[in-house]
Structure 1
């Protein structure tokens, strides 16, 4: 990554100099009760020049594990850099976070309205403010997400193909898997790509849930990235990656052929073979037991943890094609 050392940076209209700390309010709108909603943006600058790194979470209000990752980064002081600047935004969609809902009160998915409009919908205005008043001085972004609808994601980095720089950052982060996926139009990732701002998207766990393993993976990955940029404070250590990530070119969802009570018998991250037993779908009366067998060989990177499933529901996400990177 190349960057230009910045004497001062501007975030939300405030000028922050080297060695300064700031807690700004990402204040876009009030609640319907006229109460203000303060969304803290926490900024720590070293006196030594270096990159500006942005940590974001909570684009979807029900994805609380990403919020916990950044909370711990702040609470432990990992966000105080040896050089450069670290900006932390633990909860971007505070409206959804308050109600544990994915969308904004206007029903829109924030991650589908970027780069936003100054006079657009509520979600669009939040996206616009983020892109115009926070991102411009940033050199690198880590955006934390989780799975949805009761489906538990293996810790993974998602990036677009054919980007050697992001491939290297993904290896440094050290999640078990790297899933190649397109930059969806009007997503935060796509908006940053158009501005040539490198972004790693982390997925792990599921909505409404905080998982210790996912949290540790996210924090350790963040520390490795900061160490790579020589930003990690000397009092912290970045653990060496035990196994290089598995890069995934293709994957497919295996869906339920019957409705009923569902229980998986394989764990996330497991490498399975075709026709291996993955779980059972049963009825409440003890008369029906359908064995779910793997349709392909690959790694299990997502498991549906809902106790009740319907015909056609996604049960497992299984890798179908890997890449050597």
Structure 2
């Protein structure tokens, strides 16, 4: 679905003509000090009509790697389309980003309050404004996230199974893994699905951390999507994915049988066989050493990087049912 006429696009009260670049301000509330909070929405339009693509990050304020991906898209000029329009919102939850907190100051997770409410909580108001003033204008969305609680995610895309358009786009994006995941109630992904807006959710890395491999995966995948849509400037090269994408139907957590000091001994994203040693748990006194082993064949798509774990903590996420 592409726009066929050179119409004026109006977002958050800002009018953008074909060929123009403008910033709109996604303002909802001031800080408690009365200081205004500006959340820039960066809009780049080509003179040629085409699709409208939205790149978002920072729904969770502590997921800085996603913010870095969108920042690079802007800094490198990848967001200047050959046709159509590219909208970038690098930090949606700027309140959480300021404090490096996942939630909003009201304690709510923005990704669990969609579609929001005009007169609800702060997080709910942000969700409402995003759904009513940004989403109606766009045709494709790529939303960047990272793992939490010290758990490092391999670069992966997530969407519900049987969703044909994201499935086709995922193959173009070329992340190493696609994890079929049910739409979560009141999430951004779910509301976009209900509104008929194809969304790719990218997960990679962990909170409070910027990782070059994850960043490159997100940036390169975004370039492939834009190239596929005919929007990427010819000055940018598009690299083919290093490996075929692995589609994950099911996965499970390998959990700690003991509390102690933990160290993984395998690399994220590797394929392992049942019985392979993945890491070990020790005590501080040198008396105990327990080896964590793979319980089945599969790929390791998430690793707990916390040095201290307790019995029952999730250590590794391993695939149990895949297709390539």
With structure 1 as the length reference, what TM-score do the two structures score?
A: 0.98
1:64 aligns with 2:61: no
Question: Counterparts in 2 of 1:175-254, with a 5 A limit?
Answer: 175-254=175-254
Unaligned runs of 5+ in 1: none
- The residue that corresponds to 1:137 in the other structure is 137
Q: CA deviation digits over 1:135-188, x for unaligned, max 9?
A: 111000000000000000000000110122211100100000000001111000
1:40 aligns with 2:45: no
1:3 CA drift (Å): 3.4
Distance in 2 (alpha carbons) for counterparts of 1:26 and 1:167:
31
Q: Does the 8 Å contact 1:10/1:133 carry over to 2? A: no
1:274 CA drift (Å): 1.0
Q: CA deviation digits over 1:245-277, x for unaligned, max 9?
A: 000000000100100000001110110111111
Distance in 2 (alpha carbons) for counterparts of 1:228 and 1:10:
26
Distance in 2 (alpha carbons) for counterparts of 1:84 and 1:4:
7
1:97 CA drift (Å): 0.4
Question: Counterparts in 2 of 1:42-121, with a 5 A limit?
Answer: 42-121=42-121
Distance in 2 (alpha carbons) for counterparts of 1:83 and 1:100:
36
SS of the residue 1:97 aligns to: helix
SS of the residue 1:66 aligns to: helix
Distance in 2 (alpha carbons) for counterparts of 1:41 and 1:208:
23
Q: CA deviation digits over 1:288-320, x for unaligned, max 9?
A: 101111111100000000000001100000000
SS of the residue 2:62 aligns to: coil
Distance in 1 (alpha carbons) for counterparts of 2:133 and 2:164:
29
Aligned CA-pair RMSD: 0.8
Question: Counterparts in 2 of 1:281-320, with a 5 A limit?
Answer: 281-320=281-320
Distance in 1 (alpha carbons) for counterparts of 2:312 and 2:26:
41
The structure-2 alpha-carbon separation of the partners of 1:251 and 1:298, relative to structure 1 and needing over 3 Å to count, comes to: same
Q: Does the 8 Å contact 1:5/1:51 carry over to 2? A: no
Distance in 1 (alpha carbons) for counterparts of 2:197 and 2:100:
29
Q: Which runs of 4+ in 1 moved over 6 A?
A: none
1:4 CA drift (Å): 3.5
1:22 CA drift (Å): 0.5
Q: CA deviation digits over 1:207-255, x for unaligned, max 9?
A: 0000000000000000000000000011111111232200000000010
Q: Does the 8 Å contact 2:3/2:84 carry over to 1? A: no
Distance in 1 (alpha carbons) for counterparts of 2:65 and 2:49:
31
- The residue that corresponds to 2:4 in the other structure is 5
Q: CA deviation digits over 1:34-77, x for unaligned, max 9?
A: 10011111000000000000000000000000000000110000
Q: Does the 8 Å contact 1:259/1:310 carry over to 2? A: yes
Aligned length: 323
Q: CA deviation digits over 1:76-101, x for unaligned, max 9?
A: 00000000000000000000000101
Distance in 1 (alpha carbons) for counterparts of 2:310 and 2:261:
9
SS of the residue 2:216 aligns to: helix
| Greater mean alpha carbon deviation, residues 207-216 or residues 4-13 | 4-13
Distance in 1 (alpha carbons) for counterparts of 2:240 and 2:270:
22
| Greater mean alpha carbon deviation, residues 53-62 or residues 162-171 | 162-171
1:20 CA drift (Å): 1.1
1:280 aligns with 2:308: no
1:119 CA drift (Å): 0.4
